[in-house]
Amino acid sequence: MEGYFDLNEMQLDALKEISNIGAGNAATSLSIMLDRKIEVSVPKVNIAPFAEIIKTIGGAEKEVAGGYLLVNSNTPMGILFLLPGEQVPFFLDLLFGSTSETQTVNSQQLNEMQESALIEIVNILAGSYLNALGFFTQRVFVPSVPALAIDMAGAILGEVLQSIGIVSDYALIIENMFSEEEKKINGYFFLLPEPQALEILLNALGV
């Protein structure tokens, strides 16, 4: 695969479909963890220059919590889960079942337990997602341990896009949005396959 622009309509649809199933699986896991109904949006596939990709997530300066992990080197892909910074305390409340104490949490000053809880969420989400992907493609995807950063969206996404930057001026990003009924949570789940991984995925899907 020379570039992301060679993809045809059917291949894009296939990517959306696997992402749909992967994200559905991940939403179920999140639902169980948080004991809330989590909905997942229809996936979007976006092929754009890096600067455009960053604009789509609400601007480079917006504070977000990002959990990032890498999938094994045979199929190099990045997975990023983004949560708006202001939702982090509420998210932690749901996880720990506490109320007033964590409401005042400054997302810049999480303790070790809170950080590790967020990392674990990303771990579980990515694991469920990759399970579905593996089932469809008959491959085993080994994710790294996620790393967490809470900062400007541009700074976080910039680092995530770097490995793709070595091979392309554009990124292909498959996006699913998670939300819950009261709209107090809306997280974004991104799959970023490098060209090499994309070829493997599409071959395995037979498109």
Partner 1 sequence: MVNESVKIGIAEFKIARTPISIITTGLGSCVGVCLWDPIIKIGGMVHIMLPDSKQGRNVLNRAKYADSGIELLIEELCKNGAQKSRLVAKIAGGAQMFNFPNANKTMKIGNRNIVAVKNTLKFYKIKLLAEDIGGNYGRTIEFFTKNGQLLVKSICKGVKVI
Position among 147, 181, 184, 203 found at the interface with partner 1 (CB under 8 A): 147
Distance, CA of 3 to CA of 161 (rounded, Å): 15
Q: Using an 8 Å Cβ cutoff, are 79 and 143 in contact?
A: yes
Position among 158, 186, 199, 204 found at the interface with partner 1 (CB under 8 A): 158
Position among 38, 79, 153, 192 found at the interface with partner 1 (CB under 8 A): 153
User: Taking CB under 8 A as the rule, which mask of x and - marks residues 102-121 in contact with partner 1?
Assistant: ------x-------------
Of 7 and 161, which has the nearer Cβ to partner 1?
Answer: 161
Distance, CA of 201 to CA of 16 (rounded, Å): 12
Instruction: Tokens for 129, please give them.
Output: 């997602």
Distance, CA of 161 to CA of 139 (rounded, Å): 24
> CA 128, 149, 180 angle in degrees (round to 5)?
50
* Footprint on residues 32-51 left by partner 1 (CB under 8 A): 49-51
Residues that bind partner 1 (CB under 8 A): 49-52, 54-55, 59-61, 63, 66, 68, 108, 144-145, 147-149, 151-159, 161-162, 165-169
